[in-house]
Amino acid sequence: MPEWEKEPALTVLEWPVGSLLGRMRRRDRDALLRLGVPVSFPARQVMLRQGDRGEHALLLLSGYVKVFVGTRQGREVLVAVRGPGDLLGEMAVLEDRHRCANTVAGTLVAARLVGGAELREFLGRNAEACLSVARTVSERLRSAEKSRVDFVATPAPTRVAQVLIETAQRFGRRTPAGWDLGVPLTRAEVASLAGTALSTVEKAFHAMQNEGLLRLRYRRIVVRDLTELRRFGENPY
């Protein structure tokens, strides 16, 4: 059984630095972790559905989640990957609007389901916690805007390399073979994240494999050396 499908550890003492829980003061974090009820989702289950009212949010404790936006042509564009310590679905709760994306479990996921009213009440009397939420949303905005700039100005193979590097840095694990991305991503999903065609990803992966930068197993991507891959990204082919 691959690492990411094993039973998640429910007591994580250190949350990833960029995640909401990783940014919060201990007191706020403990208070937030007491809200809601525990839930779990098997891999590939839809956790939040685009178009639904924002009636609750999910606080991710373990596992990885993919955020897709569906277009009307029925295409699903992967726009982000979220991991342990991240809050999901809070934007629709705060703005009291329809959800703007589908959230799908990429692995077995453990989370806490927090009702909208409970979350609004908590943030409404806890400004410091609310600022932590604002900071994580800021971070996502920075990243979304960076993608937009890159889409216009950066060559597609470079964007493919960047997606791999950023995913490895956020969620990856060091293994003897290199950096395991930690999140099972298909090539089509990498194409979505990089804003390019599947054929471009296939070509880039092929070139990276030829140079020994990448190892691919079933839905598993291992980057041999991040620095080397970065160099490849600067001067693709």
Partner 1 sequence: MEVQTWSANSLLATLPPPARVELLRLGTRREFLPGQILVREGELSTHVILLVRGCVKVTATAPTGGLALLAIRVGGEIVGELAGLDGQPRSATVTAAGLVRARIMQQGTFHDFLTRHPQAAVAVSRTVGAKLRWATRRRVDFSGYEVPVRVARVLAELADSHGERTSAGVELQVPLTQPELAALVGAAEPTVHKALAGLRRAQVIKTGYRHMTIRDLTRLRAAADPDGEASPIPS
The least distance separating partner 1 from the CB of residue 117, rounded to whole angstroms, comes to: 13
Exposed/middle/buried for residue 198 (C-beta within 10 Å: 0-12, 13-18, 19+): middle
CB of 99 or CB of 112, closer to partner 1: 99
- Bridge-based pairing state of the strands 178-180 and 220-223: antiparallel
Q: Are 199 and 123 in contact (CB under 8 A)?
A: no
The closest alpha carbon to 47, from 113, 115, 133, belongs to: 113
CB of 208 to partner 1, least distance (A): 20
Residue with Cβ nearer partner 1 (107 or 147)? 147
96: left (phi over 0), alpha (psi -120 to 50) or beta: left
CB of residue 77 to partner 1, shortest distance in Å? 5
Q: How near is the Cβ of 80 to partner 1 at its closest, in Å?
A: 8
Footprint of partner 1 (CB under 8 A): 50-51, 69-73, 75, 77, 79, 90-91, 94-95, 97-101, 120, 123-128, 130-131, 133-135, 137-142, 144-154, 192, 195
For residue 226, what are its two tokens?
A: 């991040």
Closer by beta carbon to partner 1, 99 or else 187: 99
CA–CA separation, 105 and 164 (whole Å) = 19
Residue nearer to partner 1 on the CB measure, 71 or 227: 71
- The nearest distance, CB 54 to partner 1, in angstroms, is 10
For residue 186, the minimal CB distance to partner 1 (Å) is 15
Residue with smaller CB distance to partner 1, 9 or 197: 197
Nearer to partner 1, 100 or 226 (CB): 100
Quick one: DSSP state of residue 53? B
Determine if residue 218 is left, alpha or beta; phi over 0 gives left, psi from -120 to 50 gives alpha, anything else beta: beta
What is the DSSP code (8-state) at residue 8?
P
